[in-house]
A and B are shown apart, each in its own frame.
Chain A
Amino acid sequence: MVKIEPFALEIWMDKFEKDCKYNIAETCCASISLDKLQELSEDKTTTILPSSKILNYGAIRGSESLRGNLSRLYSAKTGNPLPAENILITPGAIAANHLFLYSFVGPGDHVICHYPTYQQLYSIPESLGAEVDLWKAKSEKNWIPDIEELKSLIKPNTKLIIINNPNNPTGAVLPKTLLQNLIDVASTRSPPITILSDEVYRPVFHSISPMDAEFPPSILSMGYRNAVSTGSMSKAYSLAGIRTGWIASRNPDIIETCAQARDYTTISVSQLDEQVAAFALSPSTIHALLSRNIQLAKTNLSILAKFVDRHDDICSWVSPKAGTTAFVRFHREGNAIDSAEFCKRLLDKTGVLFAPGKESFGDDFEGYVRIGYVCETEVLKGGLDKTKVWLRKEFDDIPLAA
Chain B
Amino acid sequence: MDGDVGFNKLYYWLHSADPDTTTVIGGSATPGLSLNELVELSKSPESTQAAFQFNDIKFNLGSAQGNPKLRETIAATYTHELSHLSPAEVIVTNGTTGANHIVHQSFLKPGDHIICQYPIYGPCIEEPEHIGCDISYIHLDPENNWHLDLKQLEALMRPGKTKLIMLNNPVNPTGTHFSTEVQEDLIKLCKKNDVVLHCDEIFHPLFHTSDVPNSFIERHDLDYEKVVVTSSLSKSYGLSGVRIGWIATRSAHLRKAFMSYRVMSCSSVSLIDEAIATEALSPRCRSGILDKHLALARKNISLIQAFVDKHKDSCDWVPPTAGAVGFVRFKDPHTGAAVDDVEFCKQLFESRNVLLAPATLCFEFGELKDAFRGRVRMHFTTTTGNLQKGLQLLDEFLEETEREATNANGHAKL
Contact = CB atoms under 8 A, between A and B. Distances in A.
Most B CB contacts (10 A, CB to CB) among A92, A238, A276 go to A92
Interface stretch (A182-190, A257-265, A355-363, A381-389): A257-265
A261 B1 contact: yes
A2 B126 contact: no
B29 A57 contact: yes
B3 A260 contact: yes
A313 to B, nearest CB: 35
B59 A241 contact: yes
Nearest to A271: B241
Interface in A242-265: 242-243, 257, 260-261, 263-265
Nearest to B35: A51
A266 B123 CA distance: 12
A35 B59 CA distance: 11
Interface stretch (A6-14, A138-146, A284-292): A6-14
Contact of B266 (A28, A92, A103, A272): A92
A120 interface: yes
Contact of A270 (B11, B39, B63, B241): B241
Interface string A232-245: 00100011111100
B42 to A, nearest CB: 13
Nearest to B104: A264
Nearest to B3: A260
B126 A1 contact: no
A6 B262 CA distance: 11
**Chain A, interface SS category:** loop
Contacts of B123: 263-264
A352 B166 CA distance: 46
A234 B127 CA distance: 30
B57 interface: yes
Interface stretch (B91-99, B205-213, B322-330, B370-378): B91-99
Nearest to B56: A33
B62 interface: yes
A91 B126 CA distance: 22
Contacts of B159: none
Nearest to B64: A14
Contacts of A199: none
B101 A241 contact: no
A181 to B, nearest CB: 31
Contacts of A268: 240-241, 243
B347 interface: no
B16 to A, nearest CB: 13
B60 A31 contact: yes
Given A14-B64, A51-B52, A94-B267, A31 B58 contact: yes
A176 to B, nearest CB: 31
Interface in B78-135: 94-95, 97-98, 101, 105-109, 123, 126-127, 130
Interface string A133-169: 0000000000000000000000000000000000000
Contacts of A92: 266-267
A124 interface: yes
A35 B267 contact: no
A34 B57 contact: yes
Contacts, number: 189
Contacts of B57: 33-34, 241
Contacts of B127: 264
A127 B131 CA distance: 13
A55 B126 contact: no
Interface in B25-47: 29, 31-36, 39
Interface residues of A, number: 59
Interface stretch (B186-194, B270-278, B307-315, B388-396): B270-278
A264 B36 contact: no
A242 B34 CA distance: 18
Contacts of B15: 60
B47 to A, nearest CB: 15
A192 to B, nearest CB: 21
Contacts of B32: 54-57
Contacts of A28: 60-61
A71 B27 CA distance: 31
Nearest to B112: A1
B265 interface: yes
B261 interface: yes
Contacts of B35: 49, 51-53, 55
Given A57-B241, A91-B94, A242 B58 contact: no
Contacts of B241: 54-58, 268, 270-272
Given A1-B106, A33-B59, A51-B34, A266 B29 contact: no
B98 A35 contact: no
Nearest to A267: B97
Nearest to A97: B265
Contacts of A240: 59-61
Contacts of A264: 7, 97, 101, 123, 126-127, 130
Contact of A263 (B7, B270, B273): B7
Nearest to B105: A2
A234 B270 CA distance: 12
Interface in A1-58: 1-2, 4, 6-7, 10-11, 14, 18, 26, 28, 31-35, 49, 51-58
14 contacts: A2-B261, A14-B63, A33-B55, A51-B36, A91-B94, A102-B265, A240-B59, A241-B272, A243-B270, A260-B1, A261-B1, A263-B123, A268-B240, A276-B272
